[in-house]
Chains A and B, each alone.
Chain A
Amino acid sequence: MTLLRLILERLLTTLITLFGVAVIVFVVIRVVPGNPIAMMLPPGATDADIDRLKALYGLDKSIAQQFLIWFGNVLHGDFGTSITTRQPVLSLVLDRLPATLELSVMALVIAVVIGVTLAILGTRLRGHRAEAGIDVANGIGLSVPDFLWGLALILLFGVIWPVFQISGRVSPRLELPFTSQFYLFESILRLRFDLTADLLSHMFMPALALALPLAAIISQLLKQSLKETVNLDYSVLARTKGYSETRVILSEALPNSILPTLTLVGVQFTFLIGGTIIVERLFSYEGLGNMAIDAVVNRDLPLIQGIVILFAILFTFVNLTVDMTYAVLNPKLRHA
């Protein structure tokens, strides 16, 4: 019952947040210098031409009026038409969303696998010299941002030892039988593992670049928590029962240390999604982030608004998921 109430409360606050985001974005992109009309007209266009186009796109009205018109349309599910491609914003954005979701989730999986493994290893080897090595690796992971990891990976796996694809989402010559935009997911469902391999080969480097900073955060935080937990009374009691150090870490300490880490992973995952904007650009990965940069460069106002709203929905959804997982995993909250 409490879980249901939590979800309802969060949905309500989400709606308010989204409205705020919409207002801010709408105003900001209209106040900053540069406008879409200038991008569309050839050099030497007259003021009359500019005014005519402005009126055509409704840009001659006040910002408040523009917002009311746009918001009214949004309530009917119409996010407007992209100025550059002249296609509906909603379908453009929803077309790209799966690519970014697949990339982000893949990055999250990689980050969790690397982070948790290093944390367990570091706890097991605490006091040894190898622990210092893991701390150094964490430090490097934390201090290098995702796009620099991207450049380093391109150099390493694209140039020096070219084993992975450095550009795009899938090899262009392949014929794709997919009906959805969730290529990776669908390739597995259709048992087309040749396509899965090609997709993974493209996805690996951007996902790893996004994952490494998060992996370092997970590793550092989880290790710190594990090192405290393995000295608690119940861990000592487990040792007197005859359990090995590894077993104590895995079955006594880990279940108690994973919860505080989870909250942080949720917050950090939203940063990771934000990171897709530059990293997708770097790898020419056809996702939402790449499209966002194009939209900003072209001053495609309706498209920018659509993308930002979608990112905002994504962020609040991730936070809600984390809160719910926390409630389900924590026995004290579950029985409350």
Chain B
Amino acid sequence: MSGFLEIRGLSARLAGTGQRLLRAVDISLPAGSVRGLVGESGAGKSMIGKAVLGVLPKAVEIVEGEILLDGQDLLKVPPAERRRLIGAKAALIPQDPLTALNPSRRIGPQITDRLVDILGWEKARAASRALEVLAEVSIPEPERVMRLYPHELSGGMRQRILIASAFAAEPKLIVADEPTTALDVTVQKQILKLISALQARHGTALLFVTHDLGVVSKVCDTLSVLYAGKVVEDTTVERFFAAPQHPYSRALLAATPRHTDPAASLQPVPQAVIDAAMAEIAAADAAWSAHG
């Protein structure tokens, strides 16, 4: 079975130092399903999202691998065409709603720009579509909101607008990059529910980047656990929470706070587990270097 998004053997490194950032990452995401990408900071989960959307920092160099979006290898098409392809078929829900909207542009054009400029819609049709998606994310008075500037809206409102904007072009894939991290706890839940509901209604494939296993259990079907740029476990959500296979996954799960006994449940990842994981990665690197 091949997914709408298919990442095969993706390896990346830092251009200057040659430090390995991604190690032969395989990820498959069938149309309409939700995959969580979890791991600690620096594990490379955000980087995979950026690679899919073609916005890797210049210092990051893809060494080998394929990123197939709807069957087309993004790494093989010329840059201008790749941008258009990504703009038409994929979208990003960014992490921080306070910085992801342009402060000097009104809300309306920031939703309709992709529809008009990239997809070639008529302006009137794009505007009515924008009103439609704003209503769908429960923005009151969408006509008025379209004329406002970002600073006139709260963080939660702005994240709703960014979600509406992501769904506006009916993309087949959405990358959500820690979409609730920057929000108040009370708003987090609503936003999570909203993304989940929209995903289900539109049948969008969702790549959900997060460090929060609680979020994964609520939203995702499958998940990939990343450590040091390597997928150490690729499994379904049920199987992961029932019986995680990799020692690092088990440690990660043990480190998640629980309501029943908060103090006891906060366990740092044991050094032995980290050492073992690093040894595993070093061995894989050595094998990779030998064959390369």
Contacts and interface: CB of A to CB of B under 8 A. Distances in A.
Interface in B137-165: 149, 151-152, 162
Categorize the interface residue count of chain A. Answer: 20 to 34
B90 A240 contact: yes
A256 interface: yes
Given A239-B55, A242-B88, A335-B149, A256 B103 contact: yes
A331 B151 contact: yes
A242 B87 contact: yes
B54 A241 contact: no
Contact of A236 (B55, B101, B103, B104): B55
A127 B100 CA distance: 25
Contact of B118 (A127, A242, A251, A255): A242
B102 A234 contact: yes
Interface in B69-109: 80, 83-84, 86-88, 90-92, 94-96, 99-105
A157 interface: no
Interface in A318-333: 331-332
A71 to B, nearest CB: 46
A252 interface: yes
Contacts of A234: 99-103
A188 interface: no
Contact of A233 (B58, B83, B87, B99): B99
Contacts of B122: none
Contacts of B152: 335
Given A255-B105, A256-B104, A239 B99 contact: no
B103 A240 contact: no
B35 interface: no
Nearest to B88: A242
Nearest to A255: B104
B51 to A, nearest CB: 12
A142 B88 CA distance: 45
Contacts of B104: 255-256, 331
Contacts of B91: 240-241
B28 to A, nearest CB: 21
Given A236-B94, A240-B92, A242-B84, 12 more contacts: A233-B94, A234-B100, A237-B100, A238-B102, A239-B54, A240-B53, A240-B87, A241-B87, A243-B118, A255-B104, A256-B103, A332-B149
6 contacts: A233-B99, A234-B103, A237-B100, A238-B113, A256-B103, A331-B149
Interface of B: 53-55, 58, 80, 83-84, 86-88, 90-92, 94-96, 99-105, 113-114, 117-118, 149, 151-152, 162
Interface of A: 127, 232-234, 236-244, 247, 251-252, 255-256, 331-332, 335
